[in-house]
Structure formats: structure tokens, C-alpha cells
Structure 1
Amino acid sequence: MIERRIAIELTELLDSIPAVALLGPRQVGKTTLALEIAERRPSIYLDLESDADRARLAEPELYLSEHEDKLVILDEVHRLPNLFQNLRGLIDRGRRAGRKAGRFLLLGSASIHLLKQSGETLAGRIAYLEMRPIDGLEIGATDLGPLWARGGFPDSFLAVSDRASQRWRQDFIRTYLERDVPLLGPRIPAETLRRFWTMLAHHQAGLLNAAEFARALGVDGKTVASYLDLLVDLLLVRRLEPWHANVGKRLVKSPRVYVRDSGITHALLGLATQEDVLGHPVAGASWEGFVIETLTATAPAGTLSNFYRTAAGAEIDLLLTLPGQRLWAIEIKRSLMPKVEKGFHQACEDLAPERRIVVFPGPERFPLQHGIEAMPLQDLGRALLDEA
């Protein structure tokens, strides 16, 4: 069993707020974590994909009123969108009776529906928490390579073999395309969306060129934008926005796009083992995405994540704006002997960041010239956790 860092934050929220929405892709471990919490306090669990559990909520206020003294866990809550109005009434009545926290834990596989439905109805009564796949600080240093190759979905990472892991990820992709996307989003042909998702994996860490994707898919740019919005809303793709400020430079305005889980990236490209990945041109970009997911997961609340790039070639892979407007400039390298490019130096001259860091897969940190630190991923992740 891998101890998930988010468990502490989730428990704290449940102890202070009436409702918490735990968002994350399917199979990321939301239900497992919720059931672990249920073992430590009086609770009931309802899976709204179950006909029997949905039948219990035919009269939701009547049923849930009988469990006012328990934490009610509602899994796949987007299945009953009309339930949020009932929850609002129950929460408000409970507040008047002195029950101000820990009433409902809502689990959802997509951000777009849950945020839209619950945000309008439960404003001021609900907190949102995103559960991500296992990241580089939740495992030991020796497992970092397998985690990168297999990705952070627990069943994939913990599979008995690379082949079993690959099979799980292929089934995951197929299920999303054939079952979950039609359920949660607009009707898009599964094969078209698979092609787009695979193109994003080939284009990992690249600037978004919607026109290029549109030509390849035989659709228009607006359609490509809607496909991308859907995968972002399903928490499967990251759109990293460029950093903008008045620095007197011509800045790149297109976002960079990443398939968020490295294991899914590799499965889309047919790469089953770490050796397969290392021999493929996507290795560097895949490692970059893996590092970004770990660092954004460990950064303090309120941290902004961007990249920086000018028309003249100045570039920073990941620019973190920590609370207090403190900038950390991060260059991501796959090499054990990282060399800092001229563009990173130029970008640091433009922005004067508080820290200049090169992340690399080696075991020890060491100083480089011009105030730059070379750091292993886990060291930098822990440094960000210390900033919280």
C-alpha cells in the first residue's frame, strides 16, 4: 500500500467544511482513499453507478436525513446532477443544528461537470481537492524510473509485470474512449479522439498548433479546441500556459500541451518498458511532463505554473510563481550531466528569479555556475513541500 500525501489534506478539510469534492481521473485511487477514511469515522458509501444505490436515493432528502450523524460518501456523483440542490438543504439544516463539518464526500471523475453543478448550488459549503496519480515523492528513489515508465495510476504502477501494466493502461484508454467520454462529454467518435490523444503524446511538451492538428484530423480549429478542452476537463491533459508580463520582450503566446500521466503517454505510443521509452524520441519530453506533474503536485497552494519563452530563444521549462510573487526558474534535463543552455541564462536575466534550478535524474545535488543548482527531482519536490 502506498501512502498518499493527499490523505492528510482531505481529512483536514472534512474536519472543517460540510462538503468536499475529491476530483480525479478514474482509477486514480479516490474510492480506496475514501473507504480508508470511512474506516476511521461513522460513514456510509454509495456508488451512484450502482442501480441499487441510486434506488436508495429516489427520495434523497428522506434517505440522507436518516444518516445525518455520518459522513456520506457519494461516488461518481455526476450520475445524479439534481442531487446537489438536496445536499444544499441538508447542509444548511445541519449547520443550524450544529453539524458544520464532515457531512459529504463527493467523488468525481471529471472536473467540468462536478464544478459546474456543485459550484452554483453549494457555493460557500464545499471545497475542491484534486487527486492525481502517484507522484515522484510518494515512492522511494529506486522506484522513480518504473514510476516514470508505467505512470502513477496505482494498478499500472503496481502491476506484476511490464506487460500487465501495459495491458491495464490500454484497457484504461479504451474504457475512457468508449464509455466515459460519451457519458461525461459531447459525442465524439472514439477513433477520432484516440487519434487526437495519440497525436498529443507524439507532440508531448510541444507548443499547441491547433491548425496542424485540425489538418491531420480533417476537422476545423474550433473542433480541435473542443477536443483539447474535454481532455483537460477530464484531468488527462495539461495545458501549460505561457508566462506573460511587461518585460519588453516578444513572448510566445501559445500554450504547451502534455498528456499528464507518463504511463498513458507511453501506452498511446506503444512503449511497454523503460528501455522502450529510453530508445524513443519522446523520452526527453515525457520526462519533462513527469517532472512537471510531480512539482506542481508538491508546490504550495496558490502557486502558478507557467513556461517562459521569447521569440529570441530565451526559455524556461517551468516557471513557478510561489506565494509572495517569488519566482523559481526550473530547467528539466534527462541527462545525468546536465548542461544549461544559453536560452535559460537569457531568461533568468529577463526575470531575475529567486532560485535557478536544473532538475535531473541523478542522485545528488550540486552547484553550477551563475547561481544555478542541479537537483534530483525528489530533492526539489521536498523543497517545495517545505515552502507550504
Structure 2
Amino acid sequence: MSENLQYFRAIYNFLPSEKERKIVLITGARQTGKTTLAKNKYNTLRYINLDSPEIRDGISQITASNWHKDIGKAILDEAQKEPSLFEKVKYAYDGGNLDFQVILGSSQILLLKKIRESLAGRISLYELWPLMMSEIYAGLGAKIIKPPLIDRILEEEDFHKLMESLPSVLIGEEDIKLKEAQEHLLRWGGMPFLLSINNAYERQKWLRDYTYTYLERDLADLSRIEDLEPFKKFQTISALRNAKLLNYSELARDVGISVDTSKRYLEYLKISYQTILLQPYGTNITSSAVKTPKIYWLDIGLLRQMTGFWGDVISGDIFETLVISEIYKWIKTMQKPVSMYFYRTRSGLELDILLKINERIIGIEIKNRSIVTPSDLRPMKAVADGLGKLWSGGILVYNGDKIDKIAEPNIWMIPSRRLF
């Protein structure tokens, strides 16, 4: 399956053609498939890997005026290793001698002052995330990636009409493959290489090695941390607080570092695509809303590795993380103009997700079980009443089999595997 995944990345057809006048920057976490994607999409372009000191030395000798002749259209991998190239790309591009360039790099590339100064306004930025459920499903035998249901929900204004058009249940091979894709994500996360490993021990070893590689390479790019032990402990403690309200003081206390260091460490995790902060919806809908974000680890495999939770039982936090990360990855990958929040009041009322799409809002509640009860809908109904005309519809994401309308105003239950 993994051999075919290079053809099944949702971003593939979203990337510009090499016939366009573009400087394309593809960034993301390590091992998410940036090189494979670029080589497959732009298979006629020369590939240059700047991880090699010899290659970097050669690149440094090329003058800006000769860049279009000596390099020309090319894929420049690990570009953050040679910051001098960005001014040369700018010179060739602005002079009209270079129409297209693909730049690949780690998270550090977005922080480089030379990029901000040299290529501001010239770069088309794309982010590659760990595999999404639709991509794993495609790799299991589908010939193409169909946009998942969440994409249609974000695009189509008539939520009720869309829901009514869907089959209530799936049967046969399609549902079996969707279950398999979801089970892989819940157990191992979305790192592409894991799909080529069938042994559970080797998969765990790969994830363990990845965390070491991250410490050695990404942190070396991002910062100069002399003592890695506090940061390693911070990773573990932050993973144990996954899906919880962020509290820098508690993180700092548990790790034994200052609050400022705690903030700096979390920023490293965010910049390197390991974690996200889900922001609270700031407007008071029902009563006084909390203003503190929640922290999520984006990849469940890495989350399990950091916490050591390898059991077969899927916790509510893990299932919640699946739903949050899948929606977030799709929005970011396809660059949707959608804002994603959660809502929680000081009195304890909470709705897991609010998606703001132009002048409408969709609410989402996440339940890790196969049966829905009336009490599951109370927070959503309260938020819907408070939002009034802004409310477009509600989704209760669960582990069952059926899509069905379960309540007003326009609230539907949808199996998680059908949504993504």
C-alpha cells in the first residue's frame, strides 16, 4: 500500500503546475512525504538535496546572475541548510530568467529572515501533514481520492439538503476499507512510512526513533538547546495533557522549568507541526466563555509514543484527537477560509468544535461510542439557540454506522469514518 501512497496525496492536484510562474514552498514535519510528493508531481525537474555538505558548498559558489543557467527549474530539498540560495532565487525570478522553483524545507524555513526578506510576496506556501484518513483509504485500493464529506460540509451552504442526499449506511468493501483506515490512524497515526511496516514492534521502534530524530535535527534547526532532558520531559508532559486546557504554569511546574521556557518549548512543538492550539470561541453565546486554548498533538502515533499508551482500548481523548486533527489537516491542506474553535463556559458547558464559514457556523460534538443519547445533545442545542441565525447545523460525530437526523435545529449524527 505505501508504494502507491505517493499518488494519493490530497494536495497533489492542488499544487501549481511547473508551467506557471511560481516559487513553490512545501513545508511540514519530517517524514511526511515532502520529497516523494515533489519528485512525483514535478518529475521532469532536477532534484538537489542540500542536506549534503558538498552540495551546499557547490551551491554557495554559484552567483545570483548564473543561477538560472547553473540551477534553473529545480527541486531544492532541505533548503534551510543553505540560506544564501534564497536571494539568488529572488534575483533570477525578479529578473525574468527563472519562472519556476520548488523549495522543500523543515519548519525552520519559515523562520529564516532571508526568506521573509527575499521571497516575501513571491512564494506560494503549501503545508504537508501526516496522512489523512481519505489518503489512507485511497491507498487501500481506491483509484482516486474523493473529497471527504467534511469538504462538502465546508463548501455547501445548504447543510440540511446535503445531509439528506447521503446514504444512511454503507455496506460492503467501501465500509470495510474505511474502518481499516480509521483503525490505522487511531492505532498508529498518519506517518506514511509506517504503512510499509507490518510488525507492531517495528512500528513502535520507528516512532521512538522519530522522536530522537526530531530532537537531533529539528531542534538543531530551530534553537540551541544545550540540555535536551527538560525538553524531552516537556514533550511527555504536554502529550499527557493532550485535549486539555493549556496551562503554562502547570507545565512549567511539572517539568521544573520557568513559565517563559515552557512557552518557548511549546512554540517549538507548534512550529515543527507536532502540536496545535485550538482557540476558544471568544464571543459569549450562552454565558461567560473561557479564553484559554486547548492543546492537541496532531499525530496519534507520536502521541501514543510520547505517553506510552499502547493499549487496544481507544480513549475518549484519542478519538477526540482523531476528529480534531482530521478536520484541522483538511482545512490547512486545502487552504480553506474556515476558522476552527471550541466553546466552553466557566459553568462547564462545552461544545468540542465550532467551524465558522463566512457568516455561518457548524457545531460538532464528539462521542467515542456507537450509541447516541439525548444528553449528548444538550450543549449543542444550547449553543445553537445562542447563535440564532448564525447556526447552520450540528454534527454529532460517533463510532456507529448510520447517518441520521436526530434533533432540531438541524442536528445530525455522522460516523467518524464517513466524515473523513
| TM-score, scaled to structure 2 | 0.81
What is the rounded CA distance, in whole Å, between the counterparts of 2:312 and 2:258 in structure 1?
A: 32
Q: Does 1:351 align with 2:383?
A: no
Q: Which amino acid aligns with 1:321?
A: K
Q: Does 1:9 align with 2:11?
A: no
137, 146, 159: which one aligns with 2:134: 137
User: What are the equivalent positions in structure 2 for 1:225-264 lying under 5 Å apart?
Assistant: 225-245=263-283, 247=285, 249-264=287-302
- Percentage of pairs with the same residue: 30
103, 107, 117: which one aligns with 1:106: 103
User: What are the equivalent positions in structure 2 for 1:1-388 lying under 5 Å apart?
Assistant: 1-2=4-5, 3-12=8-17, 14-39=18-43, 41=44, 43-60=45-62, 61=64, 64-67=67-70, 70-94=72-96, 100=99, 103-110=100-107, 113-114=110-111, 116-140=113-137, 141=178, 142-187=180-225, 189-245=227-283, 247=285, 249-272=287-310, 276-278=311-313, 283-299=315-331, 301-322=336-357, 324-339=358-373, 340-352=376-388, 353-370=391-408, 371-381=410-420
| TM-score, scaled to structure 1 | 0.88
In 2 relative to 1, CA 114–221 (structure 1 residues): closer, same or farther, beyond 3 Å? closer
In 2 relative to 1, CA 65–288 (structure 1 residues): closer, same or farther, beyond 3 Å? same
Query: Mean alpha-carbon deviation: is it higher for 301-310 or for 355-364?
Result: 355-364
Q: Aligned-pair distance for 1:86?
A: 1.4
Measured against aligned partners, the alpha-carbon deviations of 1:321-351 in whole angstroms (never above 9, x if no partner) come to 12x2321111112111134153332222222
Cα pair 2:398 2:416 within 8 Å, conserved: yes
In 2 relative to 1, CA 355–117 (structure 1 residues): closer, same or farther, beyond 3 Å? farther
Runs of 4+ in 1 over 6 A off after TM superposition: none
Q: Aligned-pair distance for 1:21?
A: 0.8
Q: Aligned-pair distance for 1:184?
A: 2.1
Query: Mean alpha-carbon deviation: is it higher for 14-23 or for 149-158?
Result: 14-23
What is the rounded CA distance, in whole Å, between the counterparts of 1:193 and 1:376 in structure 2?
A: 38
Q: Aligned-pair distance for 1:17?
A: 4.2
Cα pair 2:341 2:354 within 8 Å, conserved: yes
Query: Mean alpha-carbon deviation: is it higher for 213-222 or for 332-341?
Result: 332-341
Q: Aligned-pair distance for 1:67?
A: 4.9
Q: Aligned-pair distance for 1:307?
A: 0.8
Q: Aligned-pair distance for 1:247?
A: 4.1
Cα pair 1:77 1:107 within 8 Å, conserved: yes
Cα pair 1:198 1:268 within 8 Å, conserved: yes
The DSSP-based 3-state class of the residue aligned with 2:48 is: strand
Query: Mean alpha-carbon deviation: is it higher for 364-373 or for 170-179?
Result: 364-373
The DSSP-based 3-state class of the residue aligned with 1:11 is: coil
Q: Aligned-pair distance for 1:115?
A: 6.4
Number of residue pairs matched?
A: 365
In 2 relative to 1, CA 168–234 (structure 1 residues): closer, same or farther, beyond 3 Å? same
Unaligned runs of at least 5 residues, structure 2: 138-177
Cα pair 2:245 2:293 within 8 Å, conserved: yes
The DSSP-based 3-state class of the residue aligned with 2:15 is: helix
What is the rounded CA distance, in whole Å, between the counterparts of 1:26 and 1:183 in structure 2?
A: 12
Cα pair 2:282 2:289 within 8 Å, conserved: yes
Cα pair 1:134 1:153 within 8 Å, conserved: yes
RCO (CA 8 Å, sep 6+): is it higher in 1 or 2? 2
What is the rounded CA distance, in whole Å, between the counterparts of 2:418 and 2:359 in structure 1?
A: 22
> What RMSD over aligned residues (CA atoms) do the two structures have, in Å?
2.1
Q: Which amino acid aligns with 1:375?
A: I
Q: Which amino acid aligns with 2:292?
A: S
Unaligned runs of at least 5 residues, structure 1: 382-388
Measured against aligned partners, the alpha-carbon deviations of 1:9-46 in whole angstroms (never above 9, x if no partner) come to 1135x54442111011000000011111232x3x1111
The DSSP-based 3-state class of the residue aligned with 2:74 is: strand
Question: Which residue of the partner structure matches residue 142 of structure 2?
Answer: none
